[in-house]
Amino acid sequence: MGQKIYFVLALAFVVLLLSNIADAGNLNAQMQSLMDKHMKDSGEKSFSAEEGGKLYYIKRMHSEKKEEISCISCHMDDPAKEGKTPVGKPIEPLSPAVNKGRFTDPEKVEKWFKRNCTGVFERECTPKEKGDFVTYMMSLQ
Amino acid sequence: MKIKVWDLPTRIFHWLLVLAYVGAYFTSESEWLLEYHAGAGYIALGLIMFRILWGFTGNRYARFSDFIRGWDEVKSYILRMLRSDIPRFLGHNPAVGWVVLFMLLITAVISLTGIVVYGGEEGRGIAAGFFTFKTAIIVRIIHLILADIAVVMIVTHISAALIHHFILKENIIYSMFTGYKEDMESWSERVSHMKAGEGLSVVRLVVGIFVAILGGLGLVYLPPEGKTDFSKEKMQVMDDKGFVVELKHNKKWVDECAKSCHIGFHPNLLPASSWEKLMSGLSDHFGEDVSLNENIQKEILDYLVSASAEHSVSEASKKLMYSIKDGDSPIKITDIPYWVKKHSEISDEVYKRKSIDSKSNCIACHSGSEIGSFEDRDIHIPKE
């Protein structure tokens, strides 16, 4: 009787583990449909993690702030690290590898794309840029 | 032989006044104990009114005519005191008589100014509605200064009683309980072996008074640093009908304003007109585009306005409102004159410390900032 319980528990553990591995690096359904929409809007066949990485690290001169600015100004040169807002408040790591909650809520993702693209590039990001960026972040597993 | 000096009403008056002072002192720092503080003040005022009447109708030693003496007698007493040849009086001596009168009057004025502040700032008590908030702020300063003087006065009074008890061998402390003192003859017989001024020198007296004053100042200016548990504190707000009710943070406000780029700046830190201005300019929010969808923006604005500085019961809100010029709607809290003045002594180096980092990180020093509490006793400036 007792052995049976241990067996069930062990089985449950293995199933849980496998489902986690299968889940790693994959977007959930809501995020996937957002990505599909970006894919359609951009007219691309696939997104490029490499292009997304470039977008993350590229520095440019902001026309009003008169200083060099990039994603890494706040999110740090390693997305797995804790970032810092302009007023010094910590930002949870952006990388889904260390922060499971990232890139799970399309509304939140779109909100911050809009704000931060405007903040860094002084324009909204294109569907291709967003797709590449998310692909890059998801590849950091 | 014993002789009755202090009659029962005078003794009861004395000890009730002691209780009123102790009660008022220990409830003076906390907003939440303000009712008790005010209660102690009303009791003190009633006691003083009684004592003034008793000064005309009490027994011999309780009457003003016994202890309010002319300048000549006061001068001669002080001169003899300075020569360490202190004459004994059964009741109050000529010098202390005036001090007693001063103590009665200052207590009355402290109580009356307290009633004005309670009426003007809190809208409570018998003076509610008679005084404006602005009047109350000025009267409050008088109330505080007089209260400081009273603490020094009390410490000096106790020191003098101890000097009389231990050095002049006069049993004035017990007499305030029993009413009885030794008569002149048995006292002078008992202390006749003492030379004039034995055990007492002017230097000691001066040192005693000095220590008394320092002790009094110490009591006033070195209150223990508070360790309020803000997770248990409830927020309060005044609703549109003027009732104080519990405030709960709006969830959208928490998500958008307190959990994003900066700490949550409590609604009570700006007037409603400032929040309106700030919320209508989210596309350029201190250089960032933080636009929200219309519904969320409206919900947050409604929350901010409902708990703005005008609706706050906190001292900080009232004072910062008071400092903003009519018609001004500052959107940067650190631009408000009251904020600037209050933080003027903090050097730039402090803001650069690692755990503080910027002027907008209120919570680094005001641990209650996210629930809108900025009480002096909760301020703790990190050392690094």
What is the per-residue pLDDT for B55?
93
Domains and CATH numbers, chain A: 27-139 (1.10.760.10)
Judged by phi (left if over 0) then psi (alpha if -120 to 50, else beta), residue B183 lies in: beta
* Per-domain residue ranges of chain B: 2-221, 235-378
Does B290 contact A115 at a Cβ distance shorter than 8 Å? yes
The class level of CATH for B2-221 reads mainly alpha
What is the per-residue pLDDT for B197?
57
Q: Which residues in chain B are closer than 8 Å to A118, comparing Cβ atoms?
A: 288-289
Does B358 contact A88 at a Cβ distance shorter than 8 Å? yes
Does B289 contact A65 at a Cβ distance shorter than 8 Å? no
pLDDT tens digit sequence for B153-163: 998 899 888 88
pLDDT tens digit sequence for B97-126: 999 999 999 999 999 999 999 988 888 888
Q: Distance of CA A25 to CAs A134, B62, B105, B225, B363, Å?
A: 11, 90, 79, 51, 37
Do B359 and B352 contact (CB within 8 A), yes or no?
Answer: no
Q: Which residues in chain A are closer than 8 Å to B358, comparing Cβ atoms?
A: 87-88
Residues in chain A whose beta carbon is closer than 8 A to a beta carbon of chain B? Answer: 64-65, 85-89, 114-115, 118-119
Cα separation, B165 vs B174, in Å, equals: 9
Average pLDDT, chain A: 85
Does A114 contact B360 at a Cβ distance shorter than 8 Å? no
Nearest Cα residue in chain B from A91 = B261
Nearest Cα residue in chain A from B293 = A111
Of A88, A89, A115, the CB nearest to B288: A115
Q: Distance of CA B67 to CAs B59, B70, B97, Å?
A: 12, 10, 5
pLDDT (tens, 9 = 90+) of chain B, 384 residues, equals 888 999 999 999 999 999 999 999 999 887 778 889 999 999 999 999 999 999 999 999 999 999 999 999 999 998 888 877 778 888 999 989 999 999 999 999 999 999 999 988 888 888 888 888 888 888 999 999 999 999 999 988 998 888 888 877 888 888 999 999 888 888 777 776 666 555 556 666 677 777 777 777 777 655 455 566 777 778 888 888 878 888 999 999 999 999 888 999 999 999 999 999 999 999 889 888 888 889 999 999 999 999 999 999 888 898 899 999 988 999 999 999 999 999 998 999 999 898 888 898 999 999 889 899 888 778 888 888
Q: What ipTM did this prediction achieve?
A: 0.71
- Please, what's the largest Cα pairwise distance for chain B? 93
Does A89 contact B291 at a Cβ distance shorter than 8 Å? no
Q: Which helix (H) or strand (E) holds A29?
A: helix A29-42
Q: Which residues pair with A91 in a beta bridge?
A: A83
Cα separation, B151 vs B21, in Å, equals: 9
Nearest Cα residue in chain B from A123 = B289
Nearest Cα residue in chain A from B258 = A89
What is the per-residue pLDDT for B291?
87
Does A119 contact B288 at a Cβ distance shorter than 8 Å? yes
Residues in chain B whose beta carbon is closer than 8 A to a beta carbon of chain A? Answer: 260-263, 287-291, 357-358, 360-361
Mutate: best of A74, A111, A112, partner B, most B CBs <10 A: A111
What is the per-residue pLDDT for A22?
43
Cα separation, A1 vs A10, in Å, equals: 15
Does B361 contact A85 at a Cβ distance shorter than 8 Å? no
Do B372 and B266 contact (CB within 8 A), yes or no?
Answer: yes
Nearest Cα residue in chain B from A64 = B287
Phi and psi at residue A61, to the nearest 5°: -85, 125
Pairing between strand A68-69 and A60-61?
Answer: antiparallel
Looking at this protein, which amino acid is placed at residue B118? Y
More confident residue, A65 or A60: A60
What is the per-residue pLDDT for B209?
75
What is the per-residue pLDDT for A93?
93
Q: Is the pLDDT of residue A44 over 60?
A: yes
Cα separation, B358 vs B364, in Å, equals: 9
Two structure tokens written together for A83: 């970032």
For A60, residues 6+ apart whose C-beta sits below 8 A from its C-beta are A68, A69, A70, A120, A121
Q: Which residues in chain B are closer than 8 Å to A119, comparing Cβ atoms?
A: 288-289
Do B239 and B45 contact (CB within 8 A), yes or no?
Answer: no
Do B274 and B332 contact (CB within 8 A), yes or no?
Answer: no
For B237, residues 6+ apart whose C-beta sits below 8 A from its C-beta are B244, B245, B246, B247, B268, B306, B307, B311, B312, B313
Do B12 and B46 contact (CB within 8 A), yes or no?
Answer: no
Neighbours of B63 (CB within 10 A): 15
Looking at this protein, which amino acid is placed at residue A35? M
